[in-house]
Amino acid sequence: MCGIAGWMEKDSLMAERSQTLKAMSETLERRGPDENGIYINGDTALIHRRLVVIDRENGKQPMSARHNGVTYVIVYNGELYNSAALREELRADGFHFRGHSDTEVVLKTFIKYGTRCGEKLNGIFAFAVFDTRERSLFLCRDKIGVKPLFYYEYKGGLIFGSEIKALLASSVVKPQIDEQGLNEIFFLGPARTPGCGVFRNVFELNPGECATYKNGRLTRRTYFSIEAHEHTDSEAQTIEKTRSLLTDAIERQLVSDVPLCMLLSGGLDSSVIVKVASLYNRAHKLGRPSTYSVEYVDNAKYFAKSKFQPTRDYEYIKMMSKDAGTRHNEVLLDNKLLADALYDSVEARDLPGYVDVDSSLLLFCREIKKDFTVALSGECADELFGGYPWYFNRERLFENCFPWSRSQKVRRMILKDGVLKNGEEYVRQRYLDTLSAAPKLHSDTVEDARMREMFFLNFYWFMQCLLERKDRCSMACGLEVRVPFCDYRIVEYAYNMPWKLKALGGREKGIVRKAFEGILPDEIAWRKKSPYPKTHNPVYFNECAERVRSILKKKNNLTEMLNKKAVERIIENPGSITEPWYGQLMKAPQILAYIVELDFWFEKYKVEIFA
């Protein structure tokens, strides 16, 4: 994995902006700590920071290739999982390769297929290709949106980058936020509207989208979208295909020239990955895999059983590690450091985020990076296979709202009267826009039609928030984390799977459980879903509360918008927050942590409110 950026401006000389280009590159150093490069050609500059995973010598970037008298230059961030097959296809067409890096495969796939190249790629990626003859720039983001690609278009120019901080370093992009951005932060955050960069006039290519910039004009196009098809496989065939697709996706993602490990929570999703990897290693005589889990100081002492988190993970992790024969490592996080890391996680995202769910992952990744460069993780199974509680509560299922943020009452409560008057309507419109985009069949039952809508809501909102978290927090530590459940073939198959098969046996992710029954220990295969582990230690709440008390004494853009008395009531009576801010993991401590992140973000990024 890597960090990329670039700048194209008509009638300019990028060589005269070498210091600014260097500053843009330095913002992405943590994404690519191993190597860096800048390509300049007149009015165009391409920037690359590299985290070496495959083919150190022949994968250097920016990478160029000449074909039929034209030079093409690429900067690429990602991993390609059908690289070997594409390389052979291209060789058959007369293309030659100097190494085995997937960057070279992507570049030559573009040379052959042009702007249709994204359709040929199976992987997680964001890249840009400069055509020196056409003086055009092609941008492309992977089908599922695992890797980020932000951009800022202005008269005569385009700036793009893996992270918003690279755009801001140009000094052309200002850290301004208007009413839309404030609605994003206060009424949708930590999620973002697809394609919205929150900062004024900053946008992001959507999953499955590409764009061409030529003659001062950017043209965007969707090259991949989820489509509705009739599911014709029998129950037995569906079980087999689910197992086959997941196994193939996992095995493809075990390829690496550097050390690789897996994250293990003891839940179904991570256990499937660990077991498949263990069997693969055994078959290929690759030795015992390594696994990592995360826990918090004194969490056992303060753990409170709930319908969302009925059991602790420890016993299941131990069981799965033994079954798969892994070398297991537990990372124990200190609660004060967890609060301290809220600031680093904001810098990783360039925005307020998922608070301790982010900061814990960032600390976790720092520890893993000491021994590994690549990890596999089980994100996104819940969104694709119906893993969340709201799928199984019929009343909540048909509520006309985002299921993880059913009410804006808490969000409204912390704001002064008159601030962002249209926040609720803003959220409502985003919800309706998503529903209208979900393709359906005339033959769908009422339940299956709603499940398609729920799939789109989860895919384009909840899942994208988690993928953003995974990318920023891991790459901030120079760690590449792969997510096998995000293979686009799995997404397509899951979208068209009838609910009665997806929830086989009336269980969340029932089809996945059945597919790996007899492969996983029964206790793991049929374990009730448990969310990402969070701290239950009051030390963390107290840390956040003290920091918020200090913030409320300030006079700045944030405190001018906050209802201080309402925030103080949360501190004094955290139990009064019964409706989560976002999902089941953000309650009173996390709302306070979000205010901590907001304050830091406004000050660190010198955010201006654009009226």
Catalytic residues: 2
Backbone conformation region of residue 418, classed left if phi is above 0, alpha if psi is from -120 to 50, else beta: left
Tokens 């459940």 label which residue? Answer: 485
What is the DSSP code (8-state) at residue 203? E
Stated length of the chain: 611
Rounded to the nearest angstrom, the gap between the alpha carbon of residue 551 and the centroid of all alpha carbons in its chain is 30
Which one-letter amino acid corresponds to residue 132?
T
The secondary element (H helix, E strand) that includes residue 564 is: helix 564-572
- What are 263's two structure tokens? 């994250």
Alpha-carbon distance of 215 to 338, in angstroms, equals 48
Amino acid at 142: D
Distances in whole angstroms, Cα of residue 526 to Cα of each of 198, 413, 507, 520: 40, 40, 9, 9
Q: How far is CA 412 from CA 183, 581, 583, in A?
A: 11, 11, 17
Note if the bond before 62 is cis, omega within 30 degrees. Answer: yes
Of 81, 91, 57, nearest in space to 143 by CA: 81
End-to-end CA gap in the chain: 38
* Longest Cα separation, the chain: 71
What is the Cα–Cα distance from 280 to 286, expressed in whole angstroms? 8
Q: What are phi and psi of 133, to 5 degrees?
A: -80, -45
User: Hey, what are 599's tokens?
Assistant: 């304050």
Locate the DSSP E strands across 313-382. 327-333, 374-376
Q: State yes or no: cis peptide before 190, omega within 30 of 0.
A: yes
Cβ of 398: how many Cβ atoms within 10 Å? 12
The DSSP result for 8-39, as a single string, is: EETT--GGGGHHHHHHHHHHTTTT-BSEEEEE
Question: Measured between alpha carbons, how far is 544 from 593 in angstroms, rounded to an integer?
Answer: 6
What count of Cα atoms within 13 Å lies in the side-chain half-sphere of residue 359? 26
Beta strand 123-131 with 136-141: parallel, antiparallel or unpaired? antiparallel
Main-chain dihedrals φ then ψ at residue 210, nearest 5 degrees: -135, 170
CA 119 to chain CA centroid, Å, is: 21
- 544, amino acid identity: C
Tell me the C-alpha distance between 415 and 50, whole Å: 42
Instruction: Name every residue whose Cβ is closer than 8 Å to that of residue 602 and which is 6 or more positions away in sequence.
Output: 556, 557, 558
- Whole-number Å distance between alpha carbons of 306 and 60: 50
